[in-house]
Amino acid sequence: MEIRHVGGNIGAELIGVDLARDTSATVIREIRAAMLEHLVIFVRDQNLAPADYLAFAKRIGTPIEYPFVPGIEGFPVITPVIKLPHHKVAFGGNWHTDTTYLPEPPMATMLLAQELPVVGGDTMFANQYLAYETLSDGMKSLLSGLRGVSRSDKAEASRTREDRVGESGPKRDVRVADHPAVRTHPETGQKSLYVNFAHTTHFLGMTEEESLPLLRYLWAHQIRPEFTCRFTWSPGALALWDNRCTLHHAINDYQGQTRIMHRITLSGDVPV
């Protein structure tokens, strides 16, 4: 298995692996190690039926259901991420970490390309280890005592899933959780910035108005170009990213076209 860097500080493509067949413990260890090192990994040209996709996901972690959109038929943990020609917004179309409004946000997320636009529909990723490491000592000290409050109904997030939720039935209950603004990765021991534009509304114990100036600074800082990579999808391509230390953004630049992806999220733990 060959590993090729995608960006200078995040992202790698794995070459020479068949995720439907190469399921030995050794290969799975190498894949997880690559994810931990590069934060997001990509594997192209995978012919994965839903059962194969789910089987691979179970080798990496424990799949869980997404709370707002039902899974595909027969596979409740495989969420269809769909943008049709008449849709105006893209699901996940802003910088975010998945479902931080849950008490135990996902450890990782994987996305498998099903149908793609002729051009456009790339996804960007940002390294939150670097986002934290490049803060001043004063800012690190300030953030060490803060907890960010995330809400599932924050407009920046709910707006990007309007089409999907509207087509799949009534809206679910609002989810709210608070987590450290800086979390320590349970496997690597590294610290990462853990707020995000889509879900973080304010800091615990502060009003939204008081929190906003600091949050705006952090939201801009954590997506500096040198922290990011950009992936251009191809049929059968799979991305697997560490949701504990990355942000991602689905770019909405393919109006009038169709983009269908299958997403699986993997159970995580309580951020500390």
Estimate to the nearest angstrom the gap between the alpha carbon of 215 and the chain centroid. 19
Q: What is the pTM of this model?
A: 0.93
pLDDT score of 54 more than 50: yes
Read off the pLDDT of residues 206-233 as tens digits, 9 standing for 90 and up. 999 999 999 999 999 999 999 999 999 9
Please, how many CA atoms are within 13 Å of residue 226, restricted to the half-sphere of its CB? Answer: 5
pLDDT score of 103 more than 90: yes
What domains lie within the chain, and their CATH numbers? Answer: 2-266 (3.60.130.10)
Confidence of residue 61 (pLDDT cuts 50, 70, 90): very high
Q: Are strands 40-43 and 12-15 parallel, antiparallel or unpaired?
A: parallel
How far apart, in whole angstroms, are the C-alpha atoms of residue 89 and residue 145? 36
pLDDT of residue 58: 97
- Yes or no: say if 182 and 193 are a contact pair by the CB < 8 Å rule: yes
Estimate to the nearest angstrom the gap between the alpha carbon of 139 and the chain centroid. 25
In the numeric block, the tokens 């990994």 are attached to 41
pLDDT score of 159 more than 60: no
pLDDT score of 244 more than 80: yes
User: How far, CA to CA in Å, does 232 sit from each of 37, 105, 137, 167, 236?
Assistant: 21, 26, 36, 28, 12
Beta strands in 16-154 (DSSP E): 40-43, 63-64, 79-83, 108-115, 123-127, 147-151
Q: What is the mean pLDDT of residues 189-216?
A: 98
Q: What is the mean pLDDT of residues 18-36?
A: 95
pLDDT of residue 158: 57
pLDDT score of 168 more than 60: no
